[in-house]
Structures are given as structure tokens and as C-alpha cells.
Amino acid sequence: MELPMSQIDPAGRRWSRHKIDVRLKVSFPNEGKNNFAFGRANSLSRGGIGAYIPCTIPVGTTVSLELTFPYSAKEAQLEAVIRTCDGFRYGLEFMRLSDEVQEMIVKNCSGAEQLQ
């Protein structure tokens, strides 16, 4: 499923952000081992997610995410790359999404738009 391009929002982003509050599990490489941490996602767009993750992960690292979106019953497993970091606040860009996960994200962004 191809995600349609949205209009650029006032902050210059390709996708508008929507507030969410869900727990997530992040798996990432660290010194040759695969570590994991739990965090909270606080914003969602069609292209990525913002999250508080209480550990240090370098910008540019590809991570695996496991989370259940608010308007979905099934857990999503996906890959993302760390694009920004401010303390423990991370901005992650989605990578290689399956059609099923893309549909979950679109559904959740649409659901959040209706609540605003």
C-alpha cells in the first residue's frame, strides 16, 4: 500500500503529528549484543514516531519496535532508524513497512485526526 503524500505542515514536516500514549519495546545493537528497552511513544505520523526511551541509542541506529497502536488490536513489529535525540526523547523514522503495518499507522493517524 502506497502512503499518499500529505501537505507540508507549518513546522515543515511531510506528515502531521498526532498524540498517542502507548508502551513500546525497542531492540537495538550495542557493543555486539542485541539490547532492548521499554519506552513510551508520544507522537505518531505516517512516516515515524516520537518516543521517550530511557537509554542511550546513537542517532543513525536501526532499531526494531514492538507496540500496539491505540486503534489496533494486533501488535505491530517494525523497523525504524533513530533520526533525532534530545536527552531520552527520540524521533524515529519508519523503514520498510509491511502493508499490514502501514494500514495500522494510517488508521491510527486518521482516528487521531477525527478526535481533534
Residue at 2 is within a domain? no
Residue 42 lies in a domain: yes
* CATH number of the domain residue 79 falls in: 2.40.10.220
Residue 112 included in any domain: no
Q: What is the pTM of this model?
A: 0.80
6, part of any domain: no
pLDDT at 4: 41
Inside any domain, residue 4: no
Assess if residue 10 is contained within a domain: no
Confidence of residue 39 (pLDDT cuts 50, 70, 90): very high
Q: Is residue 11 part of a domain?
A: no
Domain that holds residue 85: 18-105
Instruction: Characterise 32 by phi-psi region: left (phi > 0), alpha (psi -120 to 50), beta (else).
Output: left
pLDDT band at 69 (very low <50, low <70, confident <90, very high): confident
Mean of all residue pLDDT scores within the chain? 83
Instruction: Provide DSSP, 57-84.
Output: --TT-EEEEEE--TT-SSPEEEEEEEEE
Whole-angstrom CA distances from 17 to 23, 40, 91, 103 are 18, 15, 12, 16
Q: Is residue 3 part of a domain?
A: no
- Could you give the number of structural domains in the chain? 1
Is residue 77 over pLDDT 80? yes
